[in-house]
């Protein structure tokens, strides 16, 4: 079970949180200008990287607030947590600790 | 009390308190501190339930949770209790009036409803140490002394781990087990330290989340005293521990050796024979043969000899005696047979071991073909065969977190490559079998964990001394005479016997502390 650092409440068990998918997907400025394809891509297309990924989390049984986090999808390690509205850290500057990436393994 | 209880030794038992219990309807007596297995061995009974499918006779083989044969069904031990099945006899303490029956690999569920309470607890810790052997205790000492909240959990009822099955080792000038007990007693005085005996860590998850089950059955039996257990007291407790640092000091399990009929009652792991001798004061047999691939069994040879038990031979798969082997054989006068292995065993009417057949090994480590002239067989009478095929580090909690392991020729086993983030693997679980290296690895890991969690304190590494340390010194100096007796009289020792035997994993292990 992951230990997740809520920006308001501190480290709490994963079971207290709700996952909210990829963060920083902006609502289109003019939805009516989009083609069907562009609209579908906005609705359904999300990044699926192996490595660091910005995502939304909701501390649903705690402060009930949404926040953003950078998490490594291979090791599950949280490398940054920040509040809604705060700028995202530059993923290229965040480093993954080598110990979290043992060679091989299934995830 | 019985022929198999040695007059001296047995620091885990209280000889002034006798306990009567029964197995399969037959009454036995043992001492407080005995397990069912040790009390049966003391009474001269080694046989347990037959094998499941073929009904082959089986006997007690180990002295711990790794026991494959001696499984029990235990009748209710207090009011409201139910009968439990599939309990290893090596882990069930005898209690007054205990009624047990041996099982052949299948348990029976009790249809009664269990009236006893079970509970779970959540705990946050700075440092969690799993395993209270020498490495784990050294780690807990260093971790706790700066004030870090430290938990030390161990599956056995008493601390000490491998030290429970050894003698003559010293740590910081004290007897090794006295050092362990004194360490835990001192730590128990500090507010942030918790020692959980009879607690088996059973899962290791992300962010150092560990689940463990604590067995409090013995406490309930003691409190019930033949009546009902006190209300509200749990029989088992599941611990959910979230630790900032996790130190795995899980030790190593001894491996058996493969040969025909290696499952007879009377064939035991060498480490288990030592364990019964030192912890329970029980000799598992009266005429022993020791079969080994490494040095660790020679401590047993020394100790059985000192306890007055006859040792017919030591059968060693290695071509020549190691320095330690030679010292032991010279001192005890026991016959060493090198470049050989057990080929088969024979048993009496009850299937229990009566003799072993020793075969010479050829250059590839295979038994010499006896049908083509090269007589390589010898039969030796024995009622106890102690086998040691080396040790395997207990790495399950490490690998559950995707920690990798790699084969090591040095220890002839899989050992962790590197610890998982915010963890450490120390002692025999990391392949560090000598007492000194286990203490050093444990103390350093404990020190680093204390530092990382903000409770740094100066590092003090406990110092090991004793016979194992002396043997290592002797081996290094090379001053010990090396000589090997060949198995078969009249058969010349061909040069091919000097080849290595990868198939038998014959390796020079240091004595496990």
Rounded to whole angstroms, the Cα distance separating B169 from B308 reads: 20
Mean pLDDT of A8-13: 94
pLDDT of residue B56: 95
Say yes or no for a CB contact (<8 Å) between A99 and B419.
yes
pLDDT of residue B232: 87
Question: Closest Cα of chain B to A96: distance in Å?
Answer: 11
Least confident residue range of B139-143, B298-302, B368-372, B472-476? B472-476
Element (H, E) at B84: strand B84-88
Burial of A27 per CB tally in 10 Å (0-12, 13-18, 19+): exposed
A97 Cβ under 8 Å from any chain B Cβ: yes
pLDDT of residue B9: 82
Question: Closest Cα of chain A to B189: distance in Å?
Answer: 29
> Which residue has tokens 């500090």?
B190
Pairing between strand A66-72 and A78-83?
A: antiparallel
Residue B150 neighbours by CB under 8 Å, 6+ apart: B125, B126, B127, B128, B129, B140, B143, B144, B187, B192, B193, B194
Q: Which of B405, B401, B400 is nearest to B415 (CA)?
A: B405
Give me the count of residues in chain A.
107
Asked whether the predicted pLDDT for residue B476 surpasses 60, the reply is no
Whether B324 contacts B240, CB under 8 Å: no
Residue B356 neighbours by CB under 8 Å, 6+ apart: B289, B291, B315, B342, B344, B345, B346, B379, B380, B382, B385
Whether B408 contacts B431, CB under 8 Å: yes
Q: Which of B207, B242, B403 sits opposite A102 (nearest CB)?
A: B403
Nearest CA in chain A to B399: A105
Chain B hits for A103, CB-CB cut-off 8 Å, are 404
Residues of B with CB under 8 A from a CB of A: 205-207, 209, 242, 402-404, 417-421
Mean pLDDT of B193-208: 96
Residue A39 neighbours by CB under 8 Å, 6+ apart: A28, A31
What is the CB neighbour count within 10 angstroms for residue A66? 15
Say yes or no for a CB contact (<8 Å) between B402 and A103.
no
Give A 47-86 residues with CB within 8 A of chain B: 76-77
Mean pLDDT of B422-431: 96
Question: Closest Cα of chain B to A83: distance in Å?
Answer: 22
A10 Cβ under 8 Å from any chain B Cβ: no
Q: Which of B421, B425, B448 to mutate to test the interface with A (most CBs of A within 10 A)?
A: B421
pLDDT of residue B376: 65
Q: What confidence tens digit (pLDDT) does each residue in B61-73 have?
A: 999 999 999 999 9
Mean pLDDT of chain A, nearest integer: 88
pLDDT of residue B374: 52
| ipTM summary value | 0.81
Q: Which of A1, A14, A102 sits opposite B402 (nearest CB)?
A: A102
Nearest CA in chain A to B422: A99
Rounded to whole angstroms, the Cα distance separating B309 from B4 reads: 10
> Which residue has tokens 């690998």?
B399
Chain B hits for A102, CB-CB cut-off 8 Å, are 402-404, 417-418, 420
Q: What confidence tens digit (pLDDT) does each residue in B282-296 have?
A: 999 999 999 999 999
Say yes or no for a CB contact (<8 Å) between A102 and B206.
no
What percent of chain B has pLDDT above 90?
81
Say yes or no for a CB contact (<8 Å) between A99 and B206.
no
First CA to last CA distance, chain A: 15
Rounded to whole angstroms, the Cα distance separating B2 from A92 reads: 73
pLDDT class for B468, splitting at 50, 70, 90? low
pLDDT class for A96, splitting at 50, 70, 90? low
Nearest CA in chain B to A5: B207
Q: What confidence tens digit (pLDDT) does each residue in B331-347 have?
A: 999 999 999 999 999 99
Whether B105 contacts B51, CB under 8 Å: yes
A33 Cβ under 8 Å from any chain B Cβ: no
- Positions of E strands within B208-294: 209-215, 234-248, 252-254, 267-269, 287-292
A99 Cβ under 8 Å from any chain B Cβ: yes
Say yes or no for a CB contact (<8 Å) between B421 and A99.
yes
Asked whether the predicted pLDDT for residue B483 surpasses 50, the reply is no
pLDDT class for B88, splitting at 50, 70, 90? very high
Chain A hits for B419, CB-CB cut-off 8 Å, are 99
How distant is the alpha carbon of residue A26 from its chain centre? 14
Rounded to whole angstroms, the Cα distance separating B107 from B84 reads: 8
pLDDT of residue A97: 53
Q: Which of B205, B209, B421 sits opposite A97 (nearest CB)?
A: B421
pLDDT of residue B2: 65
Chain A hits for B402, CB-CB cut-off 8 Å, are 102, 105-107
Angle B442-B295-B254 from CA coordinates, rounded to 5°: 60
pLDDT class for A75, splitting at 50, 70, 90? confident
pLDDT of residue B369: 67
Asked whether the predicted pLDDT for residue B17 surpasses 80, the reply is yes
Whether B207 contacts B242, CB under 8 Å: yes
What is B125-137 written as a DSSP string? EEEEEE--SHHHH
B176-185 CB contacts, 8 Å cutoff, 24+ apart: B176/B134, B176/B435, B176/B464, B176/B466, B176/B513, B177/B11, B179/B462, B180/B132, B180/B134, B180/B137, B183/B137, B183/B140, B183/B141, B184/B132, B184/B137, B184/B140, B184/B152, B184/B159
Mean pLDDT of chain B, nearest integer: 88
Say yes or no for a CB contact (<8 Å) between A3 and B207.
yes
Q: Residue A18 corresponds to which tokens in the numbers above?
A: 């709700």
B166: left (phi over 0), alpha (psi -120 to 50) or beta: beta
Asked whether the predicted pLDDT for residue B494 surpasses 50, the reply is no
Chain B hits for A71, CB-CB cut-off 8 Å, are none
| Residue B361 DSSP class | B
pLDDT of residue B363: 81
pLDDT of residue B406: 96
Q: What confidence tens digit (pLDDT) does each residue in B223-248 have?
A: 988 788 888 899 999 999 999 999 99
Q: Which of B206, B242, B402 sits opposite A105 (nearest CB)?
A: B402
């Amino acid at each position: 079970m992951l230990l997740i650092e809520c920006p308001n409440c501190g480290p709490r068990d994963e079971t207290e949180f709700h996952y909210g998918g990829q963060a920083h997907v902006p609502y289109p400025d003019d939805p009516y200008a989009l083609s069907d394809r562009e609209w579908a891509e906005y609705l359904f297309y999300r990044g699926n990287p192996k490595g660091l990924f910005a995502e939304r989390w909701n501390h649903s049984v705690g402060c009930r607030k949404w926040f953003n986090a950078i998490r490594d999808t291979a090791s599950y390690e949280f490398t940054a947590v920040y509040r809604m509205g705060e700028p995202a850290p530059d993923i290229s500057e965040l480093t993954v600790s080598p110990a979290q990436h043992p060679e091989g393994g299934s995830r | 009390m019985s022929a198999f209880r040695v007059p001296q030794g047995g620091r885990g038992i209280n000889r002034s308190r006798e306990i009567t219990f029964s197995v399969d309807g037959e009454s036995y007596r043992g001492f407080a501190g005995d397990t069912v297995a040790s009390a049966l061995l003391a009474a001269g009974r080694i046989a347990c339930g037959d094998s499941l499918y073929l009904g082959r006779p089986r006997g007690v083989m180990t002295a711990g949770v790794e026991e494959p044969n001696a499984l029990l069904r235990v009748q209710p031990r207090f009011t409201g209790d139910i009968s439990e099945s599939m309990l290893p006899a090596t882990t069930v303490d005898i209690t007054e009036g205990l009624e047990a029956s041996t099982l052949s690999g299948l348990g029976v569920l009790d249809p009664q409803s269990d009236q006893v309470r079970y509970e779970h607890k959540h705990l946050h810790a700075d440092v969690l140490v799993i395993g209270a052997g020498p490495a784990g205790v050294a780690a807990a000492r260093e971790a706790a002394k700066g004030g870090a909240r430290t938990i030390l959990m161990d599956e056995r009822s008493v601390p000490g781990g491998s030290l429970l099955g050894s003698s003559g080792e010293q740590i910081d000038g004290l007897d090794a087990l006295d050092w362990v007990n004194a360490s835990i007693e001192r730590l128990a005085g500090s507010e942030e330290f918790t020692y959980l005996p009879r607690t088996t860590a059973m899962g290791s998850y992300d962010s150092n989340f560990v689940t463990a089950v604590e067995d409090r059955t013995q406490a309930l039996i003691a409190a019930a005293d033949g009546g009902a257990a006190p209300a509200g007291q749990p029989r088992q407790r599941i611990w959910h521990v979230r630790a900032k640092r996790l130190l795995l000091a899980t030790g190593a399990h001894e491996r058996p050796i493969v040969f025909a009929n290696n499952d007879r009652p009377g064939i035991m792991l060498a480490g288990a024979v030592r364990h019964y001798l030192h912890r329970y004061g029980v000799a598992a047999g009266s005429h022993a043969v020791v079969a080994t691939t490494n040095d660790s069994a020679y401590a047993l040879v020394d100790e059985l000899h000192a306890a007055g038990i006859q040792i017919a031979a030591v059968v060693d798969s290695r071509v020549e005696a190691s320095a330690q082997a030679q010292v032991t054989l010279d001192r005890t006068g026991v016959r060493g047979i090198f470049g050989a292995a057990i080929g088969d065993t024979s048993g009496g009417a009850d299937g229990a071991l009566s003799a072993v057949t020793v075969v010479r090994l050829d250059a590839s480590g295979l038994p010499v073909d006896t049908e083509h002239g090269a007589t390589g067989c010898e039969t030796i009478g024995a009622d106890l065969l102690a086998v040691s095929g080396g040790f395997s580090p207990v790495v399950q909690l490490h690998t559950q977190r995707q920690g990798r392991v790699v084969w090591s020729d040095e220890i002839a086993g899989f050992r962790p490559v590197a610890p998982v983030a915010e963890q450490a693997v120390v002692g025999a679980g990391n392949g560090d079998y000598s007492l000194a290296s286990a203490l050093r690895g444990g103390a350093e890991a404990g020190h680093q964990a204390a530092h990382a969690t903000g409770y740094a304190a100066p590092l003090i590494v406990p110092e090991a001394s004793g016979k194992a340390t002396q043997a290592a010194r002797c081996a290094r100096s090379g001053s010990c005479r090396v000589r090997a007796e060949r198995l078969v009289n009249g058969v010349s020792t061909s040069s091919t016997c000097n080849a290595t035997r990868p198939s038998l994993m014959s390796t020079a292990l240091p004595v496990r502390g």
